[in-house]
Amino acid sequence: MKPAIVILTGAGISAESGVPTFRASDGLWCGHRVEAVATPEGFAANPVLVHDFYNQRRAQLKDVAPNAAHEALARLSAEYDGDVLLVTQNVDDLHDRAHRNIVPKRGFGLIHMHGELLRARCVETGKSCDWLGDMLIDTPSPFGAEGLRPDIVWFGEMPFEMDRIYDALSGCGLFISIGTSGNVYPAAGFVQEATRAGAHTVELNLEPSLGQSLFDEKIYGPATEVVPAFVE
Ligand code: BJW
């Protein structure tokens, strides 16, 4: 069996599907200050603004589809003779859709470490559930509580399934980072964990990330070109 692979993806893999990336040159977050829409404090100060922001992004998912890079990673899990863990920072569902009809050859996992637009969380209990509609006006909370929030990891909160991710990094033979700027931790530190484990590390991105010097191999170009070419 071939060595285990851990793949980290960021907003760049969904860019050519029409999902905007985060770090525009004006420093705004899809037109908003990051503190206003991606922190617990921002949500406490103005929940309507934050719900509105995520409602719009959730609705936009209907207009986008997985691209050749998502599809190439799905093929990899169907054909690779080793375990594959796909860790995405993205809150869209494009990896889920690309993998929907794929039977993995060996062990496969998909982790949304920063949460999912299509899930809601109860602020009192932390329980989460699927949520396809508008969080301000749709059906009442299934948890019997008033307080619903997007099931998204905001700044200052702990990303999901960190133990499982670090465990996979500590045993992987290949680490591939795709379409992420390397601005946000802990994801930006995964390359160092993989290097410590003795893995070969590869960056696939449109342009060099902040952590580019940490990678053994770098290939730059649009994800829909470089990811299929690397995987085949
Ligand atoms: C293409 C392309 C094409 C474009 N093809 N490529 C000081 C130092 C260090 C850390 C901290 C610090 N102060 C605070 C922190 C911690 C903080 C942090 O990292 N802050 C930094 C800003 C410094 N992190 C946290 O708070 C995290 N929690 C945490 O640390 O908990 C404690 C902990 C301790 C120990 C272990 C574990 C945990 C939580 C972070 C939550 C981030 N959530 C967000 C928002 C989600 C909500 C939303 O979606 O609105 O997730 S932030 C935002 O950035 C989003 C993304 O997932 C994330 C990463 O962005 P990404 O994907 O890299 O996108 P971009 O836009 O930055 O880059 C796009 C890339 O694509 C570019 O490189 C382009 O070139 C490329 N590209 N087109 C290929 N066609």
Enumerate domains of the chain plus CATH numbers.
Answer: 1-19+66-114+158-232 (3.40.50.1220), 20-63+119-152 (3.30.1600.10)
What pTM does this model have?
A: 0.96
pLDDT band at 1 (very low <50, low <70, confident <90, very high): confident
pLDDT of residue 136: 80
The complex's ipTM works out to 0.96
Which segments of 61-210 does DSSP mark as H helices, in order? 68-79, 94-99, 162-170, 190-196
Which residues are identified as catalytic? 114
Identity at 12, one-letter amino acid code: G
Ligand 1: distance of its center to the CA of 210 in Å?
A: 11
Ligand 1: distance of its center to the CA of 135 in Å?
A: 24
98: tokens are 């690309």
Ligand 1: distance of its center to the CA of 21 in Å?
A: 11
Is residue 27 predicted with pLDDT exceeding 80? no
Least confident of 22-31, 76-85, 185-194: 22-31
pLDDT of residue 135: 86
Q: Which residues participate in the annotated binding site for substrate?
A: 54, 57
Q: What is the pLDDT of residues 137-160, one digit of tens each?
A: 766 666 655 689 999 999 999 999
112: tokens are 């949304």
pLDDT of residue 100: 95
Q: What is the pLDDT of residues 172-219, one digit of tens each?
A: 999 999 999 999 999 999 999 999 999 999 999 999 999 999 999 999
| Residues having CB within 6 Å of any atom of ligand 1 | 10-12, 15-16, 21-23, 38, 89, 91, 114, 152-153, 155-159, 162, 179-181, 183-186, 205-207, 209, 222-223
pLDDT of residue 29: 73
**Is 23:104 a contact under the CB 8 Å cutoff?**
no
pLDDT of residue 32: 84
Give the E-state strand segments of 71-215 in sequence order. Answer: 84-88, 108-112, 115-122, 128-130, 148-152, 174-178, 200-205
